Amino acid sequence: MSEHVFNTYETAWCPGCGNFSILDCLKGALEDLKKDPHDVLIAAGIGQAAKIPQYISVNSFCGLHGRAVPPAVAAKMVNQKLTVIIDSGDGDSYGEGGNHFIHNIRRNVDIAHFIHDNQVYGLTKGQASPTSDEGAITDIQVDGSQNIPFNPVLMAISAGAGFVARSFSGNPLHLKEMMKRAIKFKGYALVDILQPCVSFNKVNTFAWYKQRVYELDQTHDAANRLVAMERSMEFGDRIPIGVLYERQQPTYHEKHNVLKNEQVLVGRRNDPALIERYLQELV
Ligand SMILES: Cc1ncc(C[n+]2csc(CCOP(=O)(O)OP(=O)(O)O)c2C)c(N)n1
């Protein structure tokens, strides 16, 4: 495959933004996995992170705020051969899209979900997001955020996700590896990506993460759900990155009566008499 397949475009991001590395890693992961652009769909909502599909030459769906999951699920539903990726921000995915986030995990649709977690609503000038630290001061939360921070990796494991990882935009080798594993995983796979926001998050900076982040090693038992949950709660002086939890389980398609037998629904010939009968049953 040509190295020019996943094109580069001029972006709207601030110099130093973690999004650049995340975009590079995503392109690298797709190249390494030898994905052809027409076999890939990236769905996003709204935000700085959610602009990613505009900077990469694959199929894309730019949805409303928090609404990246439904079109991604629909696309996977009709074409299982498609590599479906959701790539969006923490505000978009865990805030406005929180309902979709949780219940898509329960369906276990085969989708890789990459979330740029900069702990703020960056596009709209840095308001607190679900993952903001308690006490985080912003232009709106002038006395500090009083909400308990949302823990996406712990939530995903407890909701039943089969693959849950965390990575850091400042460690591109690690991030690309996590993306590749999530894409290859059969079933829902989350990668929460710690990402500095150079304009609106002056606390959780690149240096702040660099001091705290450490890579999980072989001593971590990623098949043990309780161990994974305990490790997921470590977020302070030390922050683990890597695959927190991994367990293969039947996907939505494997359990579905029709989908388990049909790889592609697009273009199939429908029987008008059958459709007429279904309609009659409805009236
Ligand atoms: C329903 C709805 N609520 C709020 C907004 C305003 N809005 C657009 S982008 C955005 C912030 C997105 O934040 P995040 O997903 O964290 O991405 P970032 O910009 O930080 O990359 C907000 C609040 C909107 N467009 N629609």
Going from the N-terminus, what domains does the chain have, and what CATH number goes with each? 19-282 (3.40.50.970)
Which residues have a Cβ under 8 Å from the Cβ of 185 and sit 6 or more positions away?
A: 112, 162, 163, 246, 248
Ligand 1 near 177 CB (within 6 A)? no
The first and second tokens of residue 223, run together, are 């098949």
pLDDT tier, 6 (very low <50, low <70, confident <90, very high otherwise): low
pTM assigned to the model: 0.92
Question: Atom 12, ligand 1: which residue's CA is nearest?
Answer: 47
Ligand 1 near 65 CB (within 6 A)? yes
Q: What value does the mean pLDDT take over residues 6-10?
A: 70
What's the pLDDT tens digit per position in 176-187?
999 999 999 999
Question: Atom 1, ligand 1: which residue's CA is nearest?
Answer: 65
What's the pLDDT tens digit per position in 108-138?
999 999 999 999 999 999 999 999 999 999 9
Ligand 1 closest atom vs CA 64:
26
Residue 172 is predicted with a pLDDT of: 98
Ligand 1 near 129 CB (within 6 A)? yes
Ligand 1 near 19 CB (within 6 A)? no
What's the pLDDT tens digit per position in 144-181?
999 999 999 999 999 999 999 999 999 999 999 999 99
What's the pLDDT tens digit per position in 197-228?
999 999 999 999 999 999 999 999 999 999 99
Residues of the chain with pLDDT > 70, as a percent, come to: 96
Which residues have a Cβ under 8 Å from the Cβ of 88 and sit 6 or more positions away?
A: 44, 45, 47, 49, 50, 52, 68, 97, 114, 115, 116
